[in-house]
Amino acid sequence: MALSPTAIKYIAIGVVIAVAVLLIGAIVIDLLKIVAGILIGGGLIYLGIRFLMGKGLPKGLENAAKKVIKEGKDDKKE
C-alpha cells in the first residue's frame, strides 16, 4: 500500500511543523530560565545589600520565616 503524493506532502508538512514547535519551545524555555536566573540573582543581591546596610529582612519575609519556624516546631512536638 503506497502513499499518494498528497499524503506524503501532508506528512512532510506535519513533520516540519512538529520540529518547528519543538525548536521554538526549547528557545522559550531557555529564555525563561535566563529570566528566572536574573530575577533570583537580583533578589539575592538586593537581600545581601540590605544585610550589609544593617536593615535585615523585609517585614513580609521576616513574618513568613517566623511562621514557617513556628509550624516546624509544632510538627516536632507530635
Indicate whether 31 pLDDT > 70.
yes
* pLDDT for the residue numbered 65: 87
Question: 10 — phi, psi (to 5°)?
Answer: -70, -35
Q: What is the pLDDT of residues 44-72, one digit of tens each?
A: 999 999 989 988 888 888 898 888 888 87
Contact predicate 37/43, CB 8 Å = no
Instruction: Residue 14: give the domain boundaries.
Output: 5-77
Residue with cell 545589600: 49
Residue with cell 514557617: 68
**DSSP codes joined into one string, 15-54:** HHHHHHHHHHHHHHHHHHHHHHHHHHHHHHHHHHHHHHHT
Name the domain count of the chain.
Answer: 1
